[in-house]
Chain A
Amino acid sequence: MFKFILKRVIEAIPTLLILITISFFLMRFAPGSPFSSERTLPPQVMENINAKYGLDKPVMEQYTTYLSNVLQGDLGPSFKYKDFTVNELVATALPVSAKIGAVAFVFAVFFGVGIGTIAALRQNTWLDYSVMSTAMIGIVMPSFVLAPVLIYLFSITLGWFPAGGWLDGSAKYMVLPVLGMSMMYVATFARITRGSMIETLNSNFIRTARAKGLSFSYIVLHHALKPAMLPVVSYMGPAFVGIITGSVVIETIFGLPGIGKLFVNAAFNRDYSLVMGITILIGLLFILFNAIVDILLAYVDPKIRF
């Protein structure tokens, strides 16, 4: 097991290097600059600015400097927010996104698996049909359709929850963003769980367990749940990626001061270092999470362990 984890970690290094390289050269070869504005600055001023941010050096030298800084955990100064470093900006935005994302993810997994299991146990009854057709709506309703609908229903019409804002993450302000972000994944998890649960319940070892006279609830919890979780665990990776990507839209709609909104603003402002910093950070999160999913998979499915 330890060897397996070590192998995953070593494999992640080239991925991260490639990501840093791609985002660096994409920035450098993009037309326009973060300092171009309507008022053209005198050349001396431009020279000073370029010298301050090291933009006057040859590209390869800039690249090696940046790379060594990033490896030491320093993402450099922000080009637009003059008094802040990228690290500081990210440190204020990350907790917000992490909180919503984590709640949305946990909600999606538990709720999705829960209703998927119920639908599987009551297969082909009205309960199954109603749960699964609701899930289909969840799948085709993207977050940027669902979120305005939620705001219209619960903020404008009913007035139960605020339509936006954060207020240090009090529960009231988190309900709608979490719902908007996670419904699609609740639905997908439910569909996946239902399918794999039905398949598992029809397999031979379950029949054996029933023949031994074990109670049905015991069989579901102790025999069927673990093998049925295999496709669920493998979908956790894409779901995590989707929730992080979705945060861009959700944070824009609800006006939350998170990473997604910071990223969009940075892209619009051409704040190269901030954009690069966030891209690398998100890439690192993806890699970490994919590794965790692989380890979980190895735990659920002994066949993968080698």
Chain B
Amino acid sequence: MLTKKQNIDAIDSFSENLEIEGRSLWKDARIRFMRNKAAMVSLVILCVITLAVIFVPMVAEFSYDDTDWYALHQAPSMVHLFGTDSLGRDLFVRTFIGGRISLMVGILGALVAVVIGTVYGATSGFIGGKIDRMMMRILEILYSIPFMFLVIVLVTFFGRNIVLIFVAIGAIAWLDMARIVRGQTLSLRNKEFIEAAHVCGVSNWNIIRRHIIPNVLGIVAVYSTLLIPSMILTESFLSFLGLGVQEPMTSWGALLQEGAQTMEIAIWQIAFPAAMMVITLFCFNYIGDGLRDALDPKDR
């Protein structure tokens, strides 16, 4: 009897605690994300890499464009941690300065894609009807245009400008985002709180801004973390063809291209940039997977 009463008390206090600790979607997701070891480790590594690409070039004793004719193709040593390239420039600094450009292009490109894609998808899904059909037709047409080829043309003809590269690759990547957001919006559209907002006389644009966009933010967050690595890849692709950043500035793609030419005699020139890039891409992919598991409504 006594134990039973204790049990009941325990359950009572437990349920009280439950009521106090109401967990929001975001808090729930955060807890689940923190439990995911691969994602957490990736997050830490990524933070370290981000700090490194910002601060290493500032404090290092060499600068990324210092050539040293007495130290061409030097293997890694205590002076040059990652060795030197064919012009005697310190690869340690160049790898991090290249990472700065690659990450920046990746994040800004993804940002452009996310903003255009979310607004386009939300508008299309929310308005519906004829306009939705038309906007989706436009999307389908854009899907079958070989953008990578147009970007190559654009970059060769209009000059190798880093801003142009951002805009160009951001403009390719928003298509998928628009589709995903539209699908989400379609299912949100008929919910009661949207109807309530309509009844209150809120304008369409404000409903999209205040109700639709915050609600699709979860899935947008997942896809943006998966977009960043693909943006980095696209930039490297262009740099590898010699169409990306201009010498003496560099990026991972450009370093890989230089390294590939000399790998028979100086394997470190490709090994270090490649390793950095692959690690970064790994981290972004694991974080993206972790976020998806954490925010997936099916899992709740």
Binding site for B on A (CB under 8 A): 11-12, 14-15, 18-19, 22-23, 26-27, 30-32, 136-137, 139-142, 144-145, 147-149, 151-152, 156, 241, 244-245, 248-249, 252-253, 263-264, 267-268, 270, 275, 278-279, 282-283, 286-287, 290
* Complex partner residue of B241 from A156, A249, A286, CB under 8 angstroms: A249
Q: A152-B263, A249-B241, A270-B157 are in contact. List 4 more A-B contacts (CB 8 A).
A: A144-B236, A241-B146, A249-B240, A267-B156
Interface string of B254-292 (1 = CB under 8 A from A): 001101100110010010001001100110010000000
Which A residues are CB-close (under 8 A) to B285?
A: 136, 139-140
Asked whether, in the complex, the Cβ of B146 is within 8 Å of the Cβ of A145, the reply is no
Cβ–Cβ contact A245 & B270, under 8 A:
no
Say yes or no: A30 contacts B158, CB within 8 Å: yes
Which of A26, A147, A156 is close to B264, meaning CB atoms less than 8 Å apart? A156
Give the Cβ gap from B290 to chain A, nearest Cβ, in Å. Answer: 13
Contact B241 A252 (CB under 8 A): yes
Q: Does any Cβ of A come within 8 Å of B143's Cβ?
A: yes
With contact pairs A15-B144, A26-B150 given, residues A270 and B256 touching in the complex (Cβ less than 8 Å): no
Chain B residues contacting A252 (CB-CB under 8 Å) are 241
Q: Is the CB of A268 within 8 A of B229?
A: no
Chain B residues with Cβ below 8 Å from A270 are 156-157
Which chain A positions have C-beta within 8 A of B140?
11, 15
B residues 81-101 near A (Cβ < 8 Å) are: none
Q: Are A19 and B241 in contact (CB under 8 A)?
A: no
In contact, B150 and A267 (Cβ under 8 angstroms): no
CB distance from A164 to the nearest CB of B (A): 12
Closest B residue to A146 by beta carbon equals: B274
Complex alpha-carbon distance, A211 and B264, angstroms: 60
- Cα A286 to Cα B264 in complex, Å, equals 37
Residues in chain B within 8 A of chain A (CB atoms): 140-141, 143-146, 148-150, 152-154, 156-158, 229, 233, 236-237, 240-241, 253, 256-257, 259-260, 263-264, 267, 270, 274, 277-278, 281-282, 285
Task: Find out whether the CB atom of A148 lies under 8 angstroms from the CB atom of B270.
Answer: yes
Task: State the CA gap A32–B157 with chains docked (Å).
Answer: 8
> Which chain B residues border A253 with CB–CB below 8 Å?
260
- Verify A145–B157 contact, CB threshold 8 A: no
Partner of A26, one of B154, B237, B267: B154
**Measured between alpha carbons, how far is A288 from B223 in the docked complex, in Å?**
28
What residues of B have a CB within 8 angstroms of the CB of A145 in the complex?
256, 274, 277-278
Docked Cα-Cα span, A145 to B279, in Å, equals 13
A140-B281, A286-B146 in contact; A264/B241 too (CB < 8 A)? yes
A-side contacts of B146, CB under 8 Å: 241, 244-245, 279, 282-283, 286
CB < 8 Å neighbour of B259 from A19, A31, A148: A148
Bound CA span A69–B257, Å: 39
Q: Which of A32, A142, A151, A263 contacts B237 (CB 8 A)?
A: A142
**A155 nearest CB neighbor, chain B only:** B264
**Please, how many angstroms separate the alpha-carbon atoms of A15 and B140 in the complex?**
8
- Residue ID in chain B nearest A264 by CB atoms: B241
Residues of A within 8 A of B145 (CB): 15, 18-19, 22, 283, 286
Residues of A contacting B240 in the complex (Cβ-Cβ under 8 angstroms): 144, 249
Residues of A near B270 (CB, < 8 A) are 148
**Closest partner residue, chain B, to A145 (CB atom):** B274
Asked if A287 and B144 sit within 8 Å, CB to CB, the answer is yes
Cα–Cα distance between A144 and B152 once the two chains are bound (Å): 16
Q: Which partner residue on chain A sits nearest B176 by CB separation? A: A238
By the criterion CB–CB under 8 Å, are B263 and A26 in contact? no
Q: Report yes or no: B152 in contact with A30, Cβ–Cβ below 8 A.
A: no
Q: A23-B153, A248-B152, A270-B156 are contacts. A144–B253 as well, Cβ < 8 Å?
A: yes
Q: Is the pair B157, A144 in contact by a Cβ cutoff of 8 Å?
A: no
Docked Cα-Cα span, A165 to B277, in Å, equals: 28
List B contacts of A30 (CB < 8 A). Answer: 153, 157-158
Q: Which 8 A-B pairs have the closest CB atoms?
A: A30-B157, A140-B281, A148-B260, A267-B156, A282-B146, A245-B148, A144-B240, A287-B144
A86–chain B nearest beta-carbon distance, Å = 15
Contact yes or no, A263 B256, CB < 8 A: no
Give A271 Cβ to nearest chain B Cβ, in Å: 11
Q: 12 A-B Cβ contacts within 8 A?
A: A15-B140, A26-B150, A30-B158, A136-B282, A142-B233, A144-B256, A145-B277, A148-B263, A148-B270, A264-B241, A287-B144, A290-B144
